[in-house]
A and B are shown apart, each in its own frame.
Chain A
Amino acid sequence: MHGPGRQGETHVRLEGVTKVFRGLGRGRPDVHALGPIDLDLAKGEFFAVVGPSGCGKSTLLEVLAGLATVTEGTATFEGRPIKGEVPDGVGVVFQEDACFPWLTVAENIGFGLRETSLPAGEVEARVRRAVATMGLDGFAGAYPSQLSGGMRQRVCIARTLVLQPRLILLDEPFGALDQQTRLLMGEELLKLWRETGATVFLITHALDEAAMLADRIGVMSARPGRLLEIIETGWPADRDSRIIEESAFGAITAKLWRHLRAESLKVLGKGTDAA
C-alpha cells in the first residue's frame, strides 16, 4: 500500500498554473516565478516538493492555500477552483514561528476553532486531544516564549490539525529545527497523516525529509519553477524515520540530488558542468 489514501480520487488539480509577478514601478521587468505546472494529487496522498532556492515552491503553496492568485491556468481543490481565497478544509503550517506570543499553548491551538460555530465543549475537547497528541502535556498553560523551537512548531501544527483540514499544506515546517528533532517531527507528522487521512503537500529544502515522508516527490526546476520529474518512493504507509536505513532511501535522495545539483548550479549561474 502506498500511503493511506492514494485511492485514485483526484483531490487537488493544477492545470497550466503560472504565476508572473508584475514589475513594480517604471522599467522594472515582470518576474515569471512559476509554471506552467500540471499536477494531480490523489486524496490522502503525501506529496513533497523539492527545488532550488527561489524556484517558486512557496508561491505554489500559496496558490494552493488561496493566498496568491494564478496569472494563468487553474487550481482546484475538491473540484472547486481556488481563486485567491482560502478554501474551506485547507490548513497551512509555515516555516516561520507563527505562534501568537500573547496566547498560551491551549489558546494558540484553539485559535482557529474559536472562529467556528463549534460548541465550547467540543473546542476544549479538541484542544485537549491535540495537546496530548503533540506531546505538549503539561504545557497547555505555557506561553510560546517558554517553549523550544520544536515545541512551538508542534503548537502550530496542532493549531492546523484541530481544524481537521482535508488538505494540509506545509511550507518547510521543520526548516528551523535541528536534524534529530526534524526526523522525530517527521515521524509525528507521518503518524498524524495516517490518523487523519488528509492529503499532505510538503515544501522542503531537505532531500532526506522529502525522501522519508512522501509517497511522491516533485522536483522543480530553477525559476520559473516547473516540475521536472515526479519520483515515486514506494514506501509503505506505516513507515517511520528508520526508513533511512533502506538502500532505496539512498537511491531516492541520490536521484533527487542529481536533479537539484544541476538546477542549483543554474541558480548560481555556474552552468551544469561546473564542479
Chain B
Amino acid sequence: MKYASLVRLVIIVGLIGLIEVMCRTGVITRFTMQPPTLILRDLADILVSGRYNAAIAKTLTNSAIAFVSAVVVGVAAGVVIHGVKLLREALEPLFATYYAIPVLAFYPLLIILFGIGDAPQIMIGFMLGVVAVIVNTLNGIDRVPRVLMKTARIARLSRAATARRITLPYAIPFVLTGVKLALAYSLIGVIGSEFIMSTGGMGFEISFAYNNFDNATMYPLIVLVLFTAIGLNMIVRRWERLVLGRRGMQ
C-alpha cells in the first residue's frame, strides 16, 4: 500500500472513530445520529432482510439507464458537434453555463411531460450527466494530433471509420473524465429527484425515514448510497488506470 493511501485510510478510520466516540459518549445524541458501528449493523440487517431490495433495484436501474443514455448520447453528440463548426460555436457558450442551471427545478415540467413514473427521475439523471460527457468528448477530440488525422486520410478511412478507429480511441482518457462525472451526476439526479417526486427508490426511502425519525433506516441507506457511489467510481477508475497505463500516461 502506498504511503498516501495509508494516510488516507488513517484519516477516514480516524474520523469514523471520532464520530463513534462522540455518539457513544453522548456528544452526538441518538436522536441525531447512531454510532457508525450500529449503522453498519443496521445496514447488514437491511441487506439480509431484503425489505429495501425493490427500492435499491429501482434506484440502481434508473441510475444505470440515465448513466448509459448520458454516455451514449453524450459521446455521439460530442462527435457530431465537433464535426459541425457552426453547431459547436452555437452550443459551446450554453455548455459553459449549463451547470449553473438547477436542473432539479424543472421537475414539475418533467412530471407534466412524462407523468409520475420513473421517466422524470431518469430524465433528470440524464440531463445532469450528458453535458459533462459532451464537453469532455469535445475536449478529447480537440487533442487528437494532426498527424493521426493525416494517417487516417492516408489509410483512406471514411469519417465514421476515422471516428471509430482513431478519434474516439484517442479521446478515451478525456471521455472517461466525462464518464466519471456522468456516473456521479446520474446518481445525484436520480436519488435527488426521488426525494421530491417519487413513491419509491432509495431517495424516497431515506426521505420517508427522515420524516418518521427512523434513524435506524435513514443512516444505513445513506451509507449504502455512499458505498454504491464509491464502488461504481472505483470500477471506472480502474478502467481509466488500465487505459492510461497502456499509454504511459501514469
Judged by a CB distance under 8 angstroms, whether B93 is at the interface is no
**A143 to chain B: which residues have CB within 8 Å?**
246-248
In chain B, residues 223-250, which have Cβ atoms closer than 8 Å to a Cβ of chain A? 243, 246-249
Decide yes or no whether B22 CB sits under 8 A from chain A.
no
CB pair B147 A102 closer than 8 Å? no
Evaluate whether A96 and B147 lie within 8 angstroms (CB atoms) in the complex, with A91-B154, A115-B156 already known: yes
State which residues 121-173 of B face A: CB under 8 Å. Answer: 145, 147-148, 150-151, 153-157, 161, 165-166, 169-170, 172
A65 within 8 A of B: yes
CB-nearest residue of chain B relative to A115? B155
A94 on interface, CB distance cutoff 8 Å = yes
Given A86-B154, A86-B156, A94 and B243 contact (CB-CB distance below 8 Å): no
The minimal Cβ–Cβ distance linking A5 to chain B, given in whole angstroms, is 22
Q: A102-B246, A143-B247 are in contact. Are A97 and B147 (CB under 8 A)?
A: yes
Q: Which residues of B contact A144 (CB under 8 A)?
A: 248
B170 near A102 with CB under 8 A, answer yes
Kindly count the residue-residue contacts between A and B in the assembled complex, taking CB atoms under 8 Å apart.
56
Q: Which residues on A sit within 8 Å (CB–CB) of B165? A: 111
Does any Cβ of B come within 8 Å of A101's Cβ? yes
Is A94 in contact with B147, judged by CB distance below 8 angstroms? yes
A94 to chain B, nearest CB (A): 5
Q: In angstroms, how far is the closest chain A Cβ from the Cβ of B13?
A: 36
Please tell me which one of the listed residues B161, B169, B248 contacts residue A146 in the complex, with CB atoms under 8 A apart.
Answer: B248
Whether A111 contacts B155 in the complex (CB less than 8 A), given A100-B169, A101-B247, A145-B246, comes out as yes
CB contact between A65 and one of B154, B169, B172 (< 8 Å): that residue = B154
In the complex, residue of chain A having the shortest beta-carbon distance to the beta carbon of B147: A96
- The count of residues in chain A whose C-beta lies closer than 8 Å to any C-beta of chain B is 22
Q: Which residue of the partner chain B has the closest CB to A146? A: B248
In chain B, residues 161-217, which have Cβ atoms closer than 8 Å to a Cβ of chain A?
A: 161, 165-166, 169-170, 172
Does A102 lie within 8 Å of B148, measured CB to CB?
no
Please tell me if A271 contacts chain B, counting CB pairs below 8 Å.
no
Closest to B161 in A: A115
Contact A102 B155, beta carbon cutoff 8 Å: no
Q: How far is the CA of A98 from the CA of B152 in the complex (A)?
A: 10
B166 to chain A, nearest CB (A): 7
Asked if A94 contacts B248 (CB within 8 A), the reply is no
Q: How far is the CB of A175 from chain B (nearest CB, A)?
A: 12
State A96–B150 Cα separation when bound (angstroms): 11
Interface residues of A in 96-150 (CB under 8 A from B): 96-98, 100-103, 111-112, 115, 143-146
CB distance from B168 to the nearest CB of A (A): 10
B246 touches A98 (CB 8 A): no
In the complex the two chains form, what is the Cα distance from A250 to B153 in whole Å?
Answer: 39
Cα distance A67–B149 when bound, in Å? 11
Q: Would you call A145 and B155 a contact (CB within 8 A)?
A: no
Chain B, Cβ-Cβ closest to A112: B155
Q: Which residues of B contact A146 (CB under 8 A)?
A: 248
Which interface residue of B151, B165, B248 has the most chain A CB atoms within 10 A?
A: B151
User: Chain A 170-209 against B: per-residue CB contact (8 Å), 1 yes, 0 no?
Assistant: 0000000000000000000000000000000000000000
A114–B175 alpha-carbon span in the complex (Å): 25
Contacts of B246 in A (CB 8 A): 101-102, 143, 145
Mask, A68-96, CB within 8 Å of B = 1, is 00000000000000000010001110101
**Closest CB of chain A to B179's CB: distance in Å?**
16
- A–B pairs, 20, beta carbons within 8 Å: A66-B153, A67-B153, A86-B153, A86-B154, A86-B156, A90-B154, A92-B154, A94-B150, A94-B151, A97-B147, A98-B145, A100-B148, A100-B166, A100-B170, A101-B170, A102-B170, A115-B157, A143-B247, A145-B247, A145-B249
Q: Known A-B contacts: A94-B151, A111-B155. Give 4 more (CB < 8 A).
A: A67-B150, A98-B151, A102-B246, A144-B248
Query: 9 closest Cβ contacts across the A-B interface?
Result: A145-B248, A96-B147, A101-B247, A112-B155, A98-B147, A102-B169, A143-B246, A94-B147, A92-B154
A residues lining the B interface (CB < 8 Å): 65-67, 86, 90-92, 94, 96-98, 100-103, 111-112, 115, 143-146
Point out residues on B near A: beta carbons under 8 Å.
145, 147-148, 150-151, 153-157, 161, 165-166, 169-170, 172, 243, 246-249
